[in-house]
A = this chain, B = another copy of it.
Amino acid sequence: MDTDLYQPTERTRLRRLPERGAYDRPSVHAILDEGFICHVGFVVDGQPFVIPTGYARVGDTIYLHGSSGSRLGLRPGMDVCVTVTLLDGIVLARSAFHHSFQYRSVVVLGRTRLVTDPEEKDTALSALMEHFVPGRSTDVRPGDRRELAATAVLALPLEEVSAKVRTGDPKDEEEDYDLPYWAGILPLTLEPGRPVPDSRLKPGIPVPSYVTAWSRNGKR
Protein backbone atom coordinates (compact mmCIF):
# COMPACT_ATOMS: atom_id res chain seq x y z
CA MET A 1 0.00 0.00 0.00
CA ASP A 2 1.25 3.42 -0.93
CA THR A 3 1.35 5.15 2.43
CA ASP A 4 1.44 8.52 0.76
CA LEU A 5 -2.05 7.96 -0.59
CA TYR A 6 -5.43 8.28 1.08
CA GLN A 7 -7.37 5.21 -0.02
CA PRO A 8 -10.37 6.34 -2.07
CA THR A 9 -13.68 4.93 -0.87
CA GLU A 10 -17.05 4.60 -2.52
CA ARG A 11 -17.88 7.93 -0.91
CA THR A 12 -14.79 9.89 -1.92
CA ARG A 13 -13.95 8.51 -5.37
CA LEU A 14 -14.77 11.05 -8.06
CA ARG A 15 -17.19 9.68 -10.63
CA ARG A 16 -17.69 12.76 -12.75
CA LEU A 17 -14.49 14.07 -14.34
CA PRO A 18 -12.29 11.58 -12.42
CA GLU A 19 -9.16 13.16 -13.95
CA ARG A 20 -9.70 16.09 -11.57
CA GLY A 21 -9.40 13.87 -8.50
CA ALA A 22 -6.32 13.55 -6.30
CA TYR A 23 -5.83 11.32 -3.27
CA ASP A 24 -2.14 11.75 -2.49
CA ARG A 25 -1.09 13.36 0.78
CA PRO A 26 1.05 16.14 -0.76
CA SER A 27 -1.84 17.39 -2.93
CA VAL A 28 -4.38 17.18 -0.12
CA HIS A 29 -2.10 18.77 2.47
CA ALA A 30 -1.07 21.64 0.18
CA ILE A 31 -4.72 22.65 -0.27
CA LEU A 32 -5.56 22.29 3.43
CA ASP A 33 -2.49 24.30 4.40
CA GLU A 34 -3.26 27.16 2.02
CA GLY A 35 -6.89 27.54 3.06
CA PHE A 36 -7.92 28.40 6.60
CA ILE A 37 -11.73 28.59 6.45
CA CYS A 38 -13.67 25.40 5.88
CA HIS A 39 -17.35 24.63 5.51
CA VAL A 40 -18.52 21.94 7.90
CA GLY A 41 -21.63 19.96 7.10
CA PHE A 42 -23.53 18.07 9.79
CA VAL A 43 -27.01 16.68 10.22
CA VAL A 44 -29.60 17.52 12.88
CA ASP A 45 -33.00 15.78 12.67
CA GLY A 46 -32.31 14.85 9.07
CA GLN A 47 -31.61 18.44 8.06
CA PRO A 48 -28.12 19.28 6.84
CA PHE A 49 -26.44 22.41 8.15
CA VAL A 50 -23.30 23.99 6.72
CA ILE A 51 -21.28 26.49 8.72
CA PRO A 52 -17.99 28.22 7.99
CA THR A 53 -15.25 27.93 10.57
CA GLY A 54 -11.48 28.16 10.93
CA TYR A 55 -9.34 25.05 10.89
CA ALA A 56 -5.74 23.90 10.92
CA ARG A 57 -4.00 20.67 9.98
CA VAL A 58 -1.51 18.91 12.25
CA GLY A 59 -0.16 15.77 10.59
CA ASP A 60 -3.15 13.64 9.64
CA THR A 61 -5.63 15.50 11.83
CA ILE A 62 -7.80 18.53 11.15
CA TYR A 63 -8.67 20.73 14.12
CA LEU A 64 -11.84 22.81 14.04
CA HIS A 65 -12.36 25.80 16.19
CA GLY A 66 -15.67 26.12 17.96
CA SER A 67 -17.51 27.50 20.92
CA SER A 68 -18.85 25.38 23.74
CA GLY A 69 -22.15 27.19 23.61
CA SER A 70 -23.97 26.59 20.34
CA ARG A 71 -27.22 24.67 20.69
CA LEU A 72 -28.11 23.57 17.19
CA GLY A 73 -24.50 23.37 16.19
CA LEU A 74 -21.62 21.12 15.61
CA ARG A 75 -20.96 18.63 18.37
CA PRO A 76 -18.47 15.88 19.16
CA GLY A 77 -19.25 12.42 17.79
CA MET A 78 -21.04 13.75 14.74
CA ASP A 79 -20.57 12.49 11.20
CA VAL A 80 -19.39 15.52 9.28
CA CYS A 81 -18.11 16.61 5.92
CA VAL A 82 -15.42 19.26 5.98
CA THR A 83 -14.87 21.00 2.66
CA VAL A 84 -12.10 23.46 1.90
CA THR A 85 -12.37 25.38 -1.36
CA LEU A 86 -9.71 27.61 -2.84
CA LEU A 87 -11.23 29.65 -5.64
CA ASP A 88 -8.47 30.38 -8.16
CA GLY A 89 -10.37 31.96 -11.01
CA ILE A 90 -13.20 32.04 -13.49
CA VAL A 91 -12.90 29.99 -16.68
CA LEU A 92 -14.33 31.82 -19.68
CA ALA A 93 -14.90 29.44 -22.56
CA ARG A 94 -16.22 30.36 -26.02
CA SER A 95 -19.45 28.50 -25.25
CA ALA A 96 -21.67 29.24 -22.27
CA PHE A 97 -21.76 25.52 -21.48
CA HIS A 98 -18.02 25.20 -20.83
CA HIS A 99 -17.73 28.09 -18.40
CA SER A 100 -16.33 26.92 -15.12
CA PHE A 101 -14.22 27.88 -12.13
CA GLN A 102 -10.56 27.25 -11.43
CA TYR A 103 -10.45 25.77 -7.97
CA ARG A 104 -8.75 23.36 -5.66
CA SER A 105 -10.92 21.68 -3.06
CA VAL A 106 -10.63 19.00 -0.41
CA VAL A 107 -13.45 16.96 1.08
CA VAL A 108 -12.93 15.15 4.39
CA LEU A 109 -15.52 12.71 5.72
CA GLY A 110 -15.39 11.51 9.30
CA ARG A 111 -16.61 11.76 12.85
CA THR A 112 -15.70 14.65 15.13
CA ARG A 113 -13.88 14.00 18.38
CA LEU A 114 -13.76 16.51 21.23
CA VAL A 115 -10.17 17.33 22.16
CA THR A 116 -9.95 16.94 25.94
CA ASP A 117 -6.26 16.23 26.50
CA PRO A 118 -4.77 19.58 27.64
CA GLU A 119 -1.56 19.05 25.70
CA GLU A 120 -3.37 18.19 22.46
CA LYS A 121 -5.72 21.14 22.95
CA ASP A 122 -2.78 23.46 23.45
CA THR A 123 -1.10 22.11 20.30
CA ALA A 124 -4.33 22.51 18.35
CA LEU A 125 -4.99 26.08 19.49
CA SER A 126 -1.42 27.14 18.69
CA ALA A 127 -1.69 25.48 15.30
CA LEU A 128 -4.97 27.30 14.60
CA MET A 129 -3.52 30.70 15.50
CA GLU A 130 -0.30 30.06 13.57
CA HIS A 131 -2.32 28.86 10.58
CA PHE A 132 -4.48 32.00 10.49
CA VAL A 133 -1.68 34.47 11.19
CA PRO A 134 1.82 32.95 11.23
CA GLY A 135 3.86 34.67 13.92
CA ARG A 136 0.90 35.78 16.03
CA SER A 137 0.79 32.96 18.59
CA THR A 138 3.78 34.29 20.53
CA ASP A 139 2.68 37.94 20.31
CA VAL A 140 -0.64 37.81 22.12
CA ARG A 141 -2.06 37.22 25.60
CA PRO A 142 -2.54 33.44 25.86
CA GLY A 143 -5.86 31.99 26.92
CA ASP A 144 -6.52 31.63 30.65
CA ARG A 145 -8.25 28.67 32.25
CA ARG A 146 -11.76 30.11 31.82
CA GLU A 147 -11.17 30.95 28.17
CA LEU A 148 -9.70 27.54 27.40
CA ALA A 149 -12.74 25.90 29.01
CA ALA A 150 -15.04 28.03 26.84
CA THR A 151 -13.23 27.00 23.66
CA ALA A 152 -14.19 23.69 22.13
CA VAL A 153 -11.72 22.11 19.72
CA LEU A 154 -12.91 19.28 17.54
CA ALA A 155 -10.56 16.85 15.83
CA LEU A 156 -11.25 15.02 12.60
CA PRO A 157 -8.88 12.33 11.29
CA LEU A 158 -7.69 12.61 7.70
CA GLU A 159 -8.68 9.14 6.55
CA GLU A 160 -11.54 9.41 4.07
CA VAL A 161 -10.28 12.28 1.96
CA SER A 162 -10.23 13.46 -1.61
CA ALA A 163 -9.02 16.52 -3.47
CA LYS A 164 -10.35 17.97 -6.67
CA VAL A 165 -8.41 20.37 -8.85
CA ARG A 166 -9.35 22.27 -11.99
CA THR A 167 -6.52 24.06 -13.76
CA GLY A 168 -5.45 25.02 -17.24
CA ASP A 169 -7.13 26.41 -20.31
CA PRO A 170 -10.86 26.42 -21.00
CA LYS A 171 -12.03 23.31 -22.80
CA ASP A 172 -14.16 24.19 -25.79
CA GLU A 173 -15.81 22.12 -28.46
CA GLU A 174 -13.36 21.75 -31.34
CA GLU A 175 -15.65 23.61 -33.76
CA ASP A 176 -15.90 26.58 -31.38
CA TYR A 177 -12.22 27.56 -31.41
CA ASP A 178 -12.79 29.75 -34.47
CA LEU A 179 -15.54 31.79 -32.82
CA PRO A 180 -14.73 35.46 -32.23
CA TYR A 181 -15.19 35.33 -28.44
CA TRP A 182 -12.38 35.94 -25.99
CA ALA A 183 -11.52 32.87 -23.91
CA GLY A 184 -9.21 32.46 -20.98
CA ILE A 185 -8.90 32.59 -17.23
CA LEU A 186 -9.66 35.48 -14.91
CA PRO A 187 -7.44 34.62 -11.92
CA LEU A 188 -8.79 35.36 -8.44
CA THR A 189 -6.81 35.52 -5.22
CA LEU A 190 -7.60 36.41 -1.64
CA GLU A 191 -5.50 39.49 -1.04
CA PRO A 192 -4.78 41.33 2.21
CA GLY A 193 -5.56 45.03 2.40
CA ARG A 194 -4.00 47.70 4.57
CA PRO A 195 -4.27 46.69 8.26
CA VAL A 196 -6.86 48.72 10.21
CA PRO A 197 -5.77 49.45 13.78
CA ASP A 198 -8.30 48.99 16.59
CA SER A 199 -9.81 52.39 17.40
CA ARG A 200 -8.61 51.84 20.98
CA LEU A 201 -5.06 50.83 20.04
CA LYS A 202 -2.48 52.29 22.42
CA PRO A 203 -0.28 54.84 20.68
CA GLY A 204 3.18 53.69 19.66
CA ILE A 205 2.39 50.07 18.79
CA PRO A 206 3.42 49.52 15.17
CA VAL A 207 1.76 47.02 12.84
CA PRO A 208 3.75 43.79 13.27
CA SER A 209 5.73 42.58 10.28
CA TYR A 210 3.85 39.27 10.32
CA VAL A 211 0.67 41.27 9.65
CA THR A 212 2.05 43.43 6.85
CA ALA A 213 3.69 40.36 5.27
CA TRP A 214 0.60 38.14 5.53
CA SER A 215 -0.23 36.12 2.42
CA ARG A 216 -2.67 33.29 1.85
CA ASN A 217 -0.47 31.56 -0.64
CA GLY A 218 2.16 30.47 1.81
CA LYS A 219 4.66 33.00 0.48
CA ARG A 220 5.19 34.14 4.06
**Does chain B have a CB within 8 A of A157?**
no
Which of under 10, 10 to 19, 20 to 34, or 35 or more describes the interface residues of A? 35 or more
Q: Say whether, besides A141-B176, A198-B169, A211-B92, A48 and B81 are in contact (CB < 8 Å).
A: yes
Contact check, B192 vs A188: say whether CB atoms are below 8 A apart. Answer: yes
Q: Which of the residues B125, B191, B208 comes within 8 Å of A96, measured between beta carbons?
A: B125
With contacts A95-B143, A97-B147 known, is A184 near B170, CB below 8 A?
A: no
Copies in the assembly, this chain? 2
| Closest CB in chain B relative to A135 CB, distance in Å | 11
**Which single member of B16, B39, B82 contacts A83 (CB below 8 Å)?**
B39
Give a binary string over A157-168; 1 marks a CB under 8 Å from any B CB, 0 the rest: 000000000000
The reply to whether A37 and B192 contact each other, CB–CB distance below 8 Å, is no
A6 on interface, CB distance cutoff 8 Å: no
A140 touches B96 (CB 8 A): yes
- A40-52 contact mask (Cβ, 8 Å, vs B): 1 or 0: 1111001111111
Contact pattern, A 178-203, Cβ under 8 Å of B = 1, otherwise 0: 11111111111111111111111110
The answer to whether B185 and A196 touch across the interface, beta carbons within 8 angstroms, is: yes
A5 at the interface (CB under 8 A from B): no
Given A46-B43, A90-B132, A207-B182, decide whether A188 and B196 contact each other with a Cβ distance below 8 A.
Answer: no
Interface class of chain A by DSSP: mixed
A87-B197 in contact given A103-B52, A140-B181, A202-B177 (Cβ < 8 Å): no
A3 at the interface (CB under 8 A from B): no
* Residue among A46, A93, A133, A185 facing the most chain B CB atoms (10 A cut-off): A185
Cα-based distance from A103 to B38 in the complex (angstroms): 13
Q: How far is the CB of A111 from chain B (nearest CB, A)?
A: 10
- Report the separation of the CA atoms of residues A132 and B90 in the bound assembly, to the nearest whole angstrom: 8
Q: Is A69 an interface residue (CB 8 A)?
A: yes
Give the complex CA separation of A69 and B200 in angstroms.
55
Top 5 A-B pairs, shortest CB-CB distance: A187-B193, A41-B48, A41-B50, A41-B41, A39-B39
